[in-house]
Structure 1
Amino acid sequence: MAQFPVTPAAAAATGHRASPSPRSSTSLPRRTTVLTSIGAAAGSPSWRGAVAVTRAASGSDKAAVARTIINPNDVPVLSFSELGCFEWQLCTQTGYALHYTVKNFFELEYTIKAQVIYFNKSITLPLKVAERLETFQASGTRNQNYMAMYSSIFGGITTDPSAMVIPIDDHMVHRGHGVFDTAAIMDGHLYELEQHLDRFLRSALMAKISLPFDRSTIRSILIQTVSASTCTQGSLRYWLSVGPGDFQLSSSGCTNPALYAVVIESPFLQVPAGCKVVTSSIPIKSPQFAVMKSVNYLPNALTKVEGEENGAFTGIWLDDEGFVAEGSNMNVAFVTAGKELLLPSFDKILSGCTAKRVLTLAEQLVADGRLSRIISRNVGVHEGKAADEMMLIGSGILVKPVVQWDDKIIGSGQEGPIAQALYDLILEDMRSGPPSVRIRVSY
């Protein structure tokens, strides 16, 4: 058992009395405890730096360790309901000494020593948090299937959605001081993880977030999380935060930056059906924040909601000069009457990894004559609405044709051939592209 004792010397120094030596409970099965510091940030307190992985006597597949793919350090897969039996002692401010034995995570046995009076009693905490989280998960409130989560707070991976939580005092939660990125999972391969990870780390640098690990360790953790999830079709989302610490505005009290990752199963690809968009009335983020993939997505969310409220798929932002910028969380592209593939420049908007890959793949359409050239420059609203084709490009939608912008029908009002060709190219690239964009996951 892992113990956190209050030594007699320490108790004497504070004027408190230490409790008697802990006694193991005969009613609890013995468990094997493995301590590991993998995935715990350097300099973390011992309760963060060491994670106890327990297995019941009968065994549990949830306690199995994820297989290593990149480096020799495994990230443990933890079970929320099998944290095991551990003991600690606590001296109260009144001089009483308490000894707790935790059973099943929320049931306690305790002994109180107060002068000559001894109490032995078994209690159950009034709020069984784990059970209520499991009830919430089973209620069907969530409409996506979360397969696995990694957290540097507990230094491991859980496949129990009820345990996929982060501290409320994490500054990413209450101050928005965090960044994120994503990567698609296709046929057991991670698509463009390297490209997304590079952008992820650039965003962290711009947001003044220190890294809890180096790049190769973060990469390994992300791949191992997908491996533990057994998900072969879906997406991997991951976040870097200045971490928990307090509810202040400054992050100076946050000593341990945090890394989180979640695997979401999406077994079906979206059909590239034509959609309507509207010009957004929500102010666009300034370039300093638009080029950074931070968690401050309230303007993006409101732009998406505004589009849906007007019977559209999303809203389209214009920049401070009135040029076409981007969608709520996707890039915009056009096909001109001269068969040019035209994208707004990335100077003031997020540099989309999928959009940049589409530009590379589109060279094949230039080679076979379906496109005359590929260009990135400022695009006016009138020019955009007069295009033969318009499309949205992003990792969540790949390539989605736009057939109407506000009251203006785009081209023939039908999905265009270039949008379909680009969708086919990016989909084929995800399924059989080169190793530079596809990483095989071992399950």
Structure 2
Amino acid sequence: MRFAYVNGRFCRHGDAAIHVEDRGFQFADAVYEVWSVRNGQLMDADGHFGRLARSLGELRIPEPRCRPALEHIIRELLRRNRVRDGLVYLQVSRGQARRDHAFPKKPITPTIVLTCKRLDFAAADARAATGIAVITVPDERWARCDIKTVNLLPNVLAKQMAVEAGAVEAWQVDADGFITEGSSTNAWIVTKAGTLLTRQADHGILHGITRARIIECAQRLGLDVVERAFTPEDALDAREAFLTSATSFVTPVVSIDNNVIANGEPGSLTSALREAYLGEA
């Protein structure tokens, strides 16, 4: 039996519910956060809790629980669901109020929902061993992608386009012709000179917690990291390409829009970064 946590109580997953006028449901007026869980421990916990606080602050949603309380809830949720390797999903909306675009005039209580599930990390390891394909699509999202909101319809459509094309991910391209990020991942390339490139952490991308950790790992390995935008053409000319996220960690990209990158196999720097990241987890 699976369990969820909704507004102060644990319940059967199938019975979990929010009000029909919850602003997260009606306006996507909500934020979310995701932690990977390995051996029963949250990965990169500080970064994810920090980003959650930032996202809530940007939308002016009060924090529904302090961090120690959230950590207690998460531990209990993992215990009830017997999850040692998987992920935890947290969503906080502004709360329930009569439908109106403007914020409610009177203070309301935020809605908080947590779920968790097991993940097969062996499958992720298998993808990393062979590399994956991505496609490029126009970036049609709003202008504040740095806030981790549940406003994900463009991401959903991009991911579906990737699936239908036989790829794993879609890298989004902005109006100036630069890759921003994937539908649920950050994008990276390694130039022929061995420099790691990933887009700067501006409003155009989600400030990935795994992304930040990989920058730290790369610097400890003595690698040159530059945060700047790059084009699909740059990616096609790259020595290596890869993506990062809380659940894919570091995954090599071996083709883009059916064009093979380098020799079509996972690169040595990508593999070293994955090993270093997971070794520190």
> Shared fold (TM-score greater than 0.5)?
yes
RMSD: 1.9
More helix per residue: 2
Distance in 1 of aligned mates of 2:75 and 2:215: 27
SS in 1 for 2:121: coil
SS in 2 for 1:362: helix
Aligned pair partner of 1:351 in 204, 207, 219: 207
Partner of 2:88: 236
Partner of 1:181: 33
2:30 aligned partner, one-letter code: G
Shift of 1:320: 3.3
SS in 1 for 2:148: coil
Distance in 2 of aligned mates of 1:285 and 1:391: 24
How is 1:368-407 mapped onto 2 (pairs within 5 angstroms)?
371=223, 373-407=224-258
Shift of 1:267: 4.1
Shift of 1:211: 2.1
Shift of 1:314: 1.9
Aligned pair partner of 1:422 in 251, 260, 273: 273
Do the aligned partners of 1:171 and 1:251 also contact (CA within 8 Å) in 2?
no
Partner of 2:218: 362
Is 1:278 the counterpart of 2:135? The answer is: yes
Partner of 2:76: 224
Partner of 1:156: 9
Partner of 1:34: none
Distance in 2 of aligned mates of 1:263 and 1:336: 38
Are residues 275 and 250 of structure 1, via their aligned partners in 2, closer, same or farther at CA, if it must alter by over 3 Å?
A: same
Distance in 2 of aligned mates of 1:226 and 1:250: 36
1:365 aligned partner, one-letter code: L
More contact order relative to length (CA 8 Å, sep ≥ 6): 2
SS in 2 for 1:413: coil
Q: Which runs of 5+ in 2 are unaligned?
A: none
Distance in 1 of aligned mates of 2:42 and 2:25: 27
Do the aligned partners of 1:242 and 1:254 also contact (CA within 8 Å) in 2?
no
Identity of aligned residues (%): 25
Instruction: Give me the TM-score of the superposition, normalised by structure 2.
Output: 0.91
Is 1:266 the counterpart of 2:119? The answer is: yes
Is 1:303 the counterpart of 2:158? The answer is: yes
Are residues 267 and 327 of structure 1, via their aligned partners in 2, closer, same or farther at CA, if it must alter by over 3 Å?
A: closer
2:142 aligned partner, one-letter code: K
Distance in 2 of aligned mates of 1:192 and 1:167: 32
Do the aligned partners of 2:139 and 2:173 also contact (CA within 8 Å) in 1?
no
Partner of 1:257: 110
Greater shift in the superposed pair: 172-181 or 419-428: 419-428
Partner of 1:202: 54
Instruction: Give me the TM-score of the superposition, normalised by structure 1.
Output: 0.59
Do the aligned partners of 1:277 and 1:406 also contact (CA within 8 Å) in 2?
yes
Do the aligned partners of 2:133 and 2:258 also contact (CA within 8 Å) in 1?
no
Distance in 2 of aligned mates of 1:414 and 1:178: 39
Distance in 1 of aligned mates of 2:221 and 2:276: 10
Greater shift in the superposed pair: 271-280 or 181-190: 271-280
1:265 aligned partner, one-letter code: R
Do the aligned partners of 1:233 and 1:265 also contact (CA within 8 Å) in 2?
yes
Distance in 2 of aligned mates of 1:284 and 1:161: 31
Do the aligned partners of 2:39 and 2:85 also contact (CA within 8 Å) in 1?
yes
Partner of 1:15: none
Distance in 2 of aligned mates of 1:296 and 1:318: 18
- Deviations 1:218-249 (CA, angstroms, capped at 9, x unpaired): 33333332233331111111011111233333
Partner of 2:194: 339
- Deviations 1:174-222 (CA, angstroms, capped at 9, x unpaired): 2111000011110111111221011011111111212233343333333
- Deviations 1:279-303 (CA, angstroms, capped at 9, x unpaired): 10352331xx211000000011111
- Deviations 1:257-298 (CA, angstroms, capped at 9, x unpaired): 111111111243312131221110352331xx2110000000
SS in 2 for 1:226: helix
* Structure with the greater alpha carbon radius of gyration: 1
Distance in 2 of aligned mates of 1:284 and 1:169: 25
Do the aligned partners of 1:317 and 1:328 also contact (CA within 8 Å) in 2?
yes
Greater shift in the superposed pair: 277-286 or 215-224: 215-224
Are residues 415 and 267 of structure 1, via their aligned partners in 2, closer, same or farther at CA, if it must alter by over 3 Å?
A: closer
SS in 1 for 2:138: coil
Are residues 147 and 418 of structure 1, via their aligned partners in 2, closer, same or farther at CA, if it must alter by over 3 Å?
A: farther
1:237 aligned partner, one-letter code: Y
SS in 1 for 2:33: strand
SS in 1 for 2:221: helix
- Matched pairs, number: 275
Distance in 2 of aligned mates of 1:147 and 1:412: 44
Is 1:324 the counterpart of 2:176? The answer is: no
Do the aligned partners of 2:95 and 2:108 also contact (CA within 8 Å) in 1?
yes
Distance in 2 of aligned mates of 1:185 and 1:266: 9
Distance in 1 of aligned mates of 2:47 and 2:239: 31
SS in 2 for 1:280: strand
